[in-house]
Structure 1
């Protein structure tokens, strides 16, 4: 059922000049992921997996609990009075995993490569606002910006794209990192063994400048199916399952209640939400979008599918996020209100029929979800049943992750699963992407009559230096999107962790896409 990454003599394919070796070792932890880790390019996105990029590469600064920005590869920094220049004093003595030095010159080379591919990163306002990069001396890096962009430090803490590749990892062209030779970072882990779609083995980076992990190796087995993952865990082939969507919540509950394993979940990290396309078919109509809000019994969904592990969400961002405590009125469950809105828009449910019609056409919606995400699939099936009570036919369209992303980009949906990104992205980074056609948020909003005004307000809020002005702009942006019902928030997402009794030190971080392995031990 599983292909073991530690079988001796395995003649595996290589990628990024990483070849297979014997992975057996006493101080090794084994976990599973639902897709291949990708080429581990620090400057690019899917198919690179966030958690694996975070194991190998580091940022100038680190985002910690409570939103505090702490030093990482930069020990300290200075900000000019006009907010347009950031001077970073880099940590000395840092080595890449191949033993080469991290300094201002290689940091500049990485940032210049990112700027050379700026069109790949136009979703991130940090890159749009970046004007120039200067290596002042060996350990002083200056970044100049076009405007005083307030979330600079938060976005420099992101897992991608502003992390640093060693010189030997750069392609021969030197200034284009769409593809890399091999993953060389300053982080605590090195990719040492790899077989595409089967496994990846990470070995502790003995050149690491900080506190080294307690584990010596981490083996990531690629198991697309959630039930297969649970069976492997129960058989002792996995030490840890970490992250939302990798197993069903039924399985999580069963494992937790068995008493055989340790199981816990994090504080809420982001919002589980549907984007509702204002530019396609029946969901162009505000009444239909609002009916979808009123017609969903979120609390019943959470009680039955999430077993109370997640909290009901009424707004796109939780009120404890910056600029998000706006007192917006929830569209609470009211099935009669939902029916009334559909009636008002001419969607009639005739005697003897189960599906509403208008002008001879059925009220039919395409609902896109990631097929190997166990939670999305369960929620989609439950919502399909809920909306049938309103006379709405929901077609479930399950796709593998990359195809799902393409549907977002192309607006090929009436309803599509999404989620906010949590700290340190929300709200500024996610709001910034709403202006870009390559993102599902833009596609969902494209049919709104005030779309241009929303985009203009986003432009203004990102470079505003006045706190009150910024709050007023966010109130307009988030308030308008709420009223227009282009997002259907369901619950606030928590990460889950299930692990064997001999594993200790499992924690959660503020960034939901990291698997924190620094303190994990195998007894």
Structure 2
């Protein structure tokens, strides 16, 4: 890239990294990490959730605290992204794929002493699929036609059509089992079947989980007596907290430009893992100019994904061309469908009637990756005649209200954390406003088939559709940059689903 604007972009990036490097040199001159008590751990998080019930709200931070720690499901997803039994020991599927019979784990109680059985499982799923449900994945449960409980240890799901992903969906945070009498208060006082229960929540500061000594699974009782999650949004403060031992681990470290400074430190372990965090700049297709595919395609061709990754996330990350990650089965590389081509972008904008320029806003959450990415997008799009106005937008409350619910936005940027969630583009009135009957039909076929090869082929077709239609600017997959005390073991390197599973976390001598 040449010319004064190109130099301006490089100046934005280099100035940002220079400032961060100066801060890093001042910040990282701390003391060696202090060793925490052997039976408790302090975990750092960049975002504090507004509530603690993953069955009524979508933000990933909820699951990162409560999934597998407080709440459990009929199935679970392990670190390799595979489905495993949990509160269901096993299951059978009818030949037509429409009847699932689950055999439930015996001797399981919720934290309040209420027994878990088929009636509580039925309550949970009926609540999730009910008319008044606010479950973020409600559509997963819509395929359930009826639920039978022939005895306390048997649950039978009758489906309206086959659902090849059902067992996978049942392992998500949105599918965890809840106790009927406490379900309405789980947002602030969660009651689950997990190995930990809520101790104290000092909102704006920290949340502590304490070991559930009555935990049903004798083989998986945690070594930790407690775990405290500290909420630290500022990247420099995150780095200082790790280096000074104020936190024992930051499983998702939010300052990639400081990450290399931890490598080689004998007191710390660093890990770069896979995630499902797809950074996309979604557009509101309900209104001009985004209802014109030529505009969307032009904007995509005005973006150099590698420059976004370098400038926003210090080179960590992998470009994507649709709403799918390279670590997901059936991935198709679609980054070449609308590659970086400023000249072609300008020509398409002119063809769409915007040859003299275009201006709109992007509502940007406060997360570091979002603010930095928006600044790079702003500079890149200026080169093709587009003025991008950045509007800081508090996440999650304001963003969910304005963007997700009221659709009051032009463009926004966020990392979608759910695994293989390409089907969100088939949802009616989802925040993008994307309505493509062919795409919707393709997703429906993929979800209904029990043939793995056919399902992945259909997902490949769906990826290509999104890459061509560009309902969002597909930017990159964020890696999981983890840093923690070298004596701490059991934290996940990869994140196939938003989580901080503490079951196997322990201190080593």
Q: TM-score range by the shorter chain?
A: 0.7 to 0.9
Q: Does 1:273 align with 2:280?
A: yes
What is the CA RMSD across the aligned residues, in angstroms? 2.9
- Superposition pairs for residues 248-263 of structure 1, below 5 Å? 248-256=255-263, 261-263=268-270
Partner of 2:385: 391
If the length of structure 2 is used for normalisation, what is the TM-score? 0.83
2:222 counterpart (213, 216, 225): 213
Give the Cα–Cα distance (whole angstroms) in 2 for the partners of residues 501 and 122 of structure 1. Answer: 36
2:405 counterpart (398, 406, 409): 409
If the length of structure 1 is used for normalisation, what is the TM-score? 0.81
Change (3 A) 1:520 1:319: closer
Q: Does 1:440 align with 2:431?
A: yes
Q: Does 1:367 align with 2:362?
A: yes
Alpha-carbon deviation of 1:155? 0.6
Change (3 A) 1:122 1:513: closer
> Which deviations, in whole Å up to 9, do the C-alpha atoms of 1:355-392 show, x marking residues without a partner?
x43xxxxx112112211x11111111111111112221
Alpha-carbon deviation of 1:252? 2.5
Kept after mapping to 2: 8 A contact 1:287/1:341: yes
- Superposition pairs for residues 54-69 of structure 1, below 5 Å? 54=67, 55-64=69-78, 67-69=81-83
Q: Does 1:169 align with 2:182?
A: yes
Change (3 A) 1:400 1:122: closer
> Which deviations, in whole Å up to 9, do the C-alpha atoms of 1:388-426 show, x marking residues without a partner?
122211111221112222313333333222344453xx1
Give the Cα–Cα distance (whole angstroms) in 1 for the partners of residues 242 and 335 of structure 2. Answer: 43
Q: Any gaps of 5 or more consecutive residues in structure 1? A: 1-23, 171-176, 349-355, 358-362
- Whose RCO is larger (CA < 8 A, sep 6+)? 2
Q: Which moved more, 1:403-412 or 1:199-208?
A: 403-412
Alpha-carbon deviation of 1:431? 0.9
Change (3 A) 1:490 1:158: same
User: Per the alignment, in what secondary structure is the counterpart of residue 191 of structure 1?
Assistant: strand
Q: Which moved more, 1:124-133 or 1:274-283?
A: 274-283
User: Per the alignment, in what secondary structure is the counterpart of residue 475 of structure 2?
Assistant: strand
Change (3 A) 1:223 1:62: same
Q: Does 1:238 align with 2:223?
A: no
> Which deviations, in whole Å up to 9, do the C-alpha atoms of 1:289-330 show, x marking residues without a partner?
122222111123323443332122233213553444376743
Change (3 A) 1:417 1:472: same
Q: Any gaps of 5 or more consecutive residues in structure 2? A: 1-35
Change (3 A) 1:398 1:181: closer
User: Per the alignment, in what secondary structure is the counterpart of residue 341 of structure 1?
Assistant: helix
Partner of 1:18: none
Change (3 A) 1:249 1:469: closer
Partner of 2:189: 182
User: Per the alignment, in what secondary structure is the counterpart of residue 120 of structure 1?
Assistant: coil
Partner of 2:499: 514
Partner of 2:471: 486
Give the Cα–Cα distance (whole angstroms) in 1 for the partners of residues 136 and 371 of structure 2. Answer: 31
Give the Cα–Cα distance (whole angstroms) in 1 for the partners of residues 493 and 460 of structure 2. Answer: 31
> Which deviations, in whole Å up to 9, do the C-alpha atoms of 1:60-86 show, x marking residues without a partner?
112235553221111110112222211
Give the Cα–Cα distance (whole angstroms) in 1 for the partners of residues 186 and 200 of structure 2. Answer: 19
Partner of 2:232: 223
Give the Cα–Cα distance (whole angstroms) in 1 for the partners of residues 326 and 58 of structure 2. Answer: 30
Partner of 1:382: 376
Alpha-carbon deviation of 1:247? 1.9
Change (3 A) 1:305 1:254: farther
